Structure 1
Amino acid sequence: MNRSNATVLSQPGVPMQVRNVSKRFGAFTALDDVSLDVAAGELVCLLGPSGCGKTTLLRCIAGLERQDSGVLYLGSRDVSDLAPQARDYGILFQSYALFPNLSVEANIAYGLAGSNRDVVRKRVCEMLALVGLTGSEKKFPGQLSGGQQQRVALARALAPSPSLLLLDEPMSALDARVREHLCTELRQLQRQLGITTLMVTHNQDEAMLMADRIAVMNHGKVEQYDTPQAIYNRPATPFVAEFVGQGNWLPFQRSSDSHAQVGGLNVRLADDTGHAASGRLFCRPEAITVNPVLHQENLFPARVREITFLGNRCRMRFELNHLPGHALMAEVSSHDLPRLGNQDIVVALPPASLQVFA
């Protein structure tokens, strides 16, 4: 393995560190000089579309794939060349990988091989209580629901008390209601145990619900590594803005330090939007105010093209009168629909919600 381009200094007290890791499969670059740290007790999500490199990174950390270059630290130990069983992690796969011919208790005890029988029995009981499956120890995986199987797999991963927990899309096989419930349960359990956790997902809602920080990946690189709030509210790149949540884009030409021309409209910008002469303005649908009761800046006439009912809110598609053919979205409360009246509306684009991408 080539380490020539790696920064080979670990940071004491940081449980997991990835330094300049690259991985290629033939001509395809799966990971391109990736670096990130995971703090003690933190839950970090690797988020991105299929093929972005998130699962490859997890497999390199687990030792299931060998990186071509770069260094991996677990605590102060360089684990880059260690076999998987020597890396002190627990892993929960997408498929759970339970042994169908073994009981629940035997599945959980699998990672405790070599320990005293009484120690194993006590630890299995602790794990069953922890995941809420006390009384199910004699059942087999085929007798359990998907959510229960996931809990057994989690208990098996946690039984050896690993320094690091790796989760490979653990919720993808579950329906939406069960997934949300188990996401909340898993997050509470992770906080209770204080176990450092790295989780792979392509589901934005899972990442937002569970993560302390999110690494948004694209084409083998980390495009932004930050809190869920920062990634949603201030995306660092156009890809992050488009991949995470919904958004609106408006072509602009800068007319002054504080204003830009969008079609025939003069739009005021916030003071911290940079100095790009042209590009695109980005804003979230919920940042747009429709028919504001109070006076706001950047008020423009528009025409509604479509309203989609989403339960407690509605998504409104509209076009600015001075920018026809360019569809935008706003989100409004369902209770506000009667107040909005007919198809002719006025929208406010608050300067603080407009982000400039050159």
Structure 2
Amino acid sequence: MNTAVANPGAQMKVRGIHKRFGAFTALHDVSLDVAAGELVCLLGPSGCGKTTLLRCIAGLERQDRGTLYIGDRDISELPPQARDYGILFQSYALFPNLTVEANIAYGLAGSGRDEVRQRVAQMLELVGLSGSEKKYPGQLSGGQQQRVALARALAPAPSLLLLDEPMSALDARVREHLCSELRQLQRQLGITTLMVTHNQDEAMLMADRIAVMNNGQVEQYATPQEIYDKPATPFVAEFVGQGNWLPFQRHSDSHAQVGTLNMRLADGANQASSGRLFCRPEAISVNPPVHEENLFPARVREITFLGNRCRMSFELTELPGHALLAEVAPESMPRLGSQDIWVALPPRSLQVFA
């Protein structure tokens, strides 16, 4: 048995994976590169194919075509036990009749008793559960059970760690804390990690890169900041974060017509003749202290207090019936004054989708 905490992370390559279940196409020619030591999240709604892709990588489903590599090794046709990964399931899949020690040791068959005992102690120290060897899963909290399952996945020192919605059974406060701990541990070990989630906050908090999936395909594969600031498709823009949409007709290379409003666009914007403009709520300036471009009168419809920010629903005076959102700091609320305000939609914040 390798006595390292984990093997150095290996690069993983996914090439043209296609998977059908009867007439339903779950994956359509999916390709990804995951760098050694990187944490990548597969993010998307239920049924988008993210768990099917993870199961194909694990060998729990057989792809119809395509190739999978860990490092330079083709694992496409190997059985699961020969693929050198650890996996943490949504349900943790701990054996309720085995102690914590026996659960972690389950994947260490063939090692000596002293070596197993030493490895279990090492893993429990790693996940902050030293002294819990003789407890049973039923005696542990949900967060502690997750740590035991993680220790079991890491015990054989795999080259790849697969996480299938590992936080979904936990309450919000515990989930946020364990996300941070898991990310710190993953960086410490340098283990290449692929994580499935439908929770965009988890993905944004943990991932080096995110693959946003929809209908069996990857719509965008980029860093969290790139996905949030520059979504590649309308689906990504709508699925990740809040957003505003405005239908437009092209007025010129640099301007778009939105109803009766003439809005300037950023240099180099998509030259589509018509479509929708997209803008994040926090990019909108409300009653700006100095004149800004694309400044229009508006009327407040509703203000929702969210603690560290306020979300304001409003409509442009010249575009009635079209609700938009802006986010402002609570201390900015007093200077809003009345229901009638001015809002600025900076050209750099407007993204053009055909």
Does 2:262 correspond to 1:266? Answer: yes
| Residues 1:304 and 2:293 are matched in the alignment | no
Q: CA deviation at 1:141?
A: 0.2
The answer to whether the aligner puts 1:205 opposite 2:234 as a matched pair is no
Matches within 5 A, 1:211-290: 211-290=207-286
State the secondary structure of the residue aligned to 1:139: coil
In the alignment, the residues of structure 2 paired with residue 271 and residue 248 of structure 1 have an alpha-carbon distance, to the nearest angstrom, of 20
Partner of 1:314: 310
Cα deviation 1:86-142 (Å, max 9, x = unaligned): 000000000000000000011000010111111111110100000000011110000
Q: Tell me which of 105, 111, 126 is aligned to 2:122.
A: 126
Separation (CA, whole Å) in 2 of partners of 1:169 and 1:251: 36
Normalised by the length of structure 2, the TM-score is: 0.97
Range that drifts further, 185-194 or 112-121: 112-121
User: Which whole-Å deviations, capped at 9, do the CAs of 1:186-219 have from their partners, x for residues lacking one?
Assistant: 0000000000000000000000000000000000
Measure, in 2, the Cα distance between the counterparts of 1:15 and 1:258: 43
CA distance in 2, matches of 1:334, 1:173: 33
Q: How does 1:13-162 map to 2 (within 5 A)?
A: 15-162=11-158
Does the Cα contact within 8 Å between 1:131 and 1:151 map onto a contact in 2? yes
Unmatched 5+ stretches in structure 2: 1-8
For 2:270 and 2:141, how far apart are their aligned partners in 1?
Answer: 52
Could you tell me how far 1:274 is from its partner in structure 2? 1.9
Q: Secondary structure at the match of 2:195?
A: strand
User: Is this contact kept in 2: 1:14–1:37, CA < 8 A?
Assistant: no
Q: What amino acid is aligned across from residue 184 of structure 1 in structure 2?
A: S
| Equivalent residue number for residue 180 of structure 1 | 176
Looking at structure 2, the residues matched to 294 and 125 of structure 1 have their Cα atoms a distance apart, in angstroms, of: 62
Structure 1 vs Structure 2 CA RMSD = 0.8
Superposed displacement of residue 158, structure 1: 0.2
- In structure 1, the residue corresponding to 2:269 is in which secondary structure? coil
Contact 2:10 2:37 in 1 (8 A): no
Q: Secondary structure at the match of 1:35?
A: strand
Measure the CA separation in 2 of the matches of 1:211 and 1:293: 37
* Alignment check: 8 A CA contact 2:270 2:353 kept: no
* Contact 2:10–2:192 under 8 Å retained in 1: no
The 2-side partners of 1:32 and 1:308 are apart by 41
- 2:336 matched to 1:340? yes
Range 309-318 or range 213-222, more displaced: 309-318
Kindly state the Cα deviation for residue 295 of structure 1 after the two structures are TM-superposed.
Answer: 1.7
TM-score by length of 1: 0.96
Runs ≥4 residues deviating over 2 A: none
1:191 aligns with 2:157: no
Please report how far the alpha carbon of residue 14 of structure 1 lies from its aligned counterpart in structure 2 after TM superposition. 6.1
